[in-house]
Amino acid sequence: MKQEKIVLTGDRPTGKLHIGHYVGSLRRRVELQNSGQFDKIFIFEADAQALTDNIDNPEKVRQNVIEVALDYLACGIDPAKSTIFIQSQIPELCELSFYFMDLVSVSRLQRNPTVKTEIQMRNFEASIPVGFFTYPISQAADITAFKATTVPVGEDQEPMLEQAREIVRRFNYIYGDTLVEPNILLPENAACLRLPGTDGKAKMSKSLGNCIYLSDSADEVEKKIRTMYTDPNHLKVSDPGQVEGNTVFTYLDAFSRPEHFGRYLPDYADLEELKAHYRRGGLGDVKVKKFLAAVMQEELEPIRQRRKEFEQDIPAVYEMLKKGCEAARAVAADTLSEVRKAMKINYFDDEALIAEQAARFSGK
Ligand code: ATP
Ligand code: MG
């Protein structure tokens, strides 16, 4: 049988989605969805994973499930083409994680660089919740339960995909070919791999409060850009400035297109020319920031508008999620049947086993 091409990816409902998610993964998902090249597309909210480091704040996760769903719809994820579901509603994923736990060592998990950084970020060093520590395993279950072939995510997810691939290889080696090895699909544009926060810190992240949200108003976006981190040594307009590590230029790398210059900054042919002027000196941050604001508004305004429309019928959004969960659960249940069979724990639907045991005990 021809291998189906299946996309799967998700987000933690720990906050509204931001422009890091957008350039790192969301924009790509919409392209993949509309490309017609994939047999199935699954997009999910990892609420159970979000609880692993928010266990005392279930309300936060509950509130953000709808926010993230609205962000999906606003960006153009279409429930007619993509199945949107919520992780906790698919108990098969817990079951698969439990089996996978025997295929991974504690030291292998300890070596995961993303988990290491996240443990530090959350000050978990002294007391790491087991669920948080093992989330790469649960993520492998999320991916493999849907036999995903393609996982469009940001760079921070690379170690997770590697872990998932190892688990699949180990599982298939022990139990026979059952699961599919997923491939990571990283953004092509280097600036999008790990978009920095407005404070210039390494990663824009809901948990760090350095985000421009997709649902921010035009005024909020304007204000956040105005106070954004640039080159701390570029004090006077005449000073030569640095483009590398300058967040405003990183965002322009991620968002600007040649046609934006004609529309908003006709003195420059393209981003290279703008960068060259900044490096030489004589170009002020304010002008660059104004250009960035225009570019961002053009990209974000249609998303904001669509979000407002979907906000008009929230019960319909929950209904869409419920249907998505039902459809996703059926797929995961099929995979789990295959997994149980491969692992020889399908006692009651294995007539050969029952006959064999009957024969053994009757002495025949
Ligand atoms: P949290 O702080 O709760 O972990 P987060 O902002 O890191 O939230 P996630 O839900 O963990 O967001 O990530 C969802 C997806 O977005 C992943 O594919 C991740 O790689 C991608 N992503 C998140 N932040 C960025 C970023 N700053 N740049 C590029 N991609 C990102
Ligand atoms: Mg994260």
Task: Write the residue with the smallest CA distance to atom 6 of ligand 1.
Answer: 205
Distance CA 11, CA 207 (A): 13
Q: 95 exposed, middle or buried (CB, 10 Å; 0-12, 13-18, 19+)?
A: middle
Distance CA 272, CA 257 (A): 11
pLDDT tens by residue, 89-121? 999 999 999 999 999 999 999 999 999 888 888
Mean pLDDT of 306-335: 98
- Same-domain pairing of 177 and 53: yes
Angle at 276 between CA 274 and CA 282, to 5 degrees: 80
Q: Residue 364: pLDDT above 80?
A: no
Q: How confident is the model at residue 1 (pLDDT cuts 50, 70, 90)?
A: low
Distance CA 68, CA 87 (A): 13
Residue at 212 is within a domain = no
* Test site for ligand 1: of 11, 132, 155, 194, most ligand atoms within 8 A of the Cβ: 11
Angle at 341 between CA 338 and CA 343, to 5 degrees: 110
Q: Is the CB of 195 under 6 A from ligand 1?
A: yes
* Test site for ligand 1: of 8, 25, 29, 247, most ligand atoms within 8 A of the Cβ: 25
Mean pLDDT of 244-249: 95
Question: What is the structure's pLDDT at 304?
Answer: 96
Q: Is the CB of 45 under 6 A from ligand 1?
A: no
Residue at 175 is within a domain = yes
CATH assignment of the domain containing 299: 1.10.240.10
Q: Is the CB of 154 under 6 A from ligand 1?
A: yes
pLDDT above 70 as % of the chain: 99
Angle between helical axes of 314-342 and 91-100 (0-180°, round to 10): 40
Number of domain units in the chain: 2
Q: Is the CB of 19 under 6 A from ligand 1?
A: no
Based on its alpha-carbon atoms, the radius of gyration of the chain, rounded to whole angstroms, reads: 24
pLDDT tens by residue, 181-194? 999 999 888 888 88
Residue at 61 is within a domain = yes
Distance CA 93, CA 91 (A): 5
- Same-domain pairing of 139 and 100: yes
Residue at 200 is within a domain = no
CATH assignment of the domain containing 37: 3.40.50.620
- Same-domain pairing of 249 and 110: no
- Same-domain pairing of 137 and 106: yes
Residue 106 is classified by DSSP as H
Domain boundaries, position 156: 6-194+314-356
- Same-domain pairing of 184 and 62: yes
Residue at 39 is within a domain = yes
- Same-domain pairing of 76 and 121: yes
Residue at 363 is within a domain = no
Residue at 166 is within a domain = yes
pLDDT above 90 as % of the chain: 86
- Same-domain pairing of 348 and 270: no
Q: Is the CB of 136 under 6 A from ligand 1?
A: no
- Same-domain pairing of 274 and 342: no
C-alpha distances out from residue 288 to 155, 179, 223, 293, 298, Å: 27, 49, 14, 9, 16
Atom of ligand 1 nearest to the CA of 205: 6
Ligand 1 geometric centre to CA of 166 (Å): 22
Atom of ligand 1 nearest to the CA of 204: 27
The rounded mean pLDDT for the chain is 94
Mean pLDDT of 150-176: 96
Atom of ligand 1 nearest to the CA of 26: 16
- Same-domain pairing of 139 and 57: yes
- Same-domain pairing of 274 and 301: yes
Ligand 2 geometric centre to CA of 44 (Å): 14
Residue 78 in contact with residue 310, Cβ under 8 Å?
no
Other CB atoms within 10 Å distance of the CB of residue 312 = 8
Residue at 144 is within a domain = yes
- Same-domain pairing of 20 and 125: yes
- Same-domain pairing of 164 and 240: no
**Three-state SS for 9?**
strand
Distance CA 97, CA 253 (A): 38
Encoded amino acid at 231, one letter? D
Question: What is the structure's pLDDT at 323?
Answer: 98
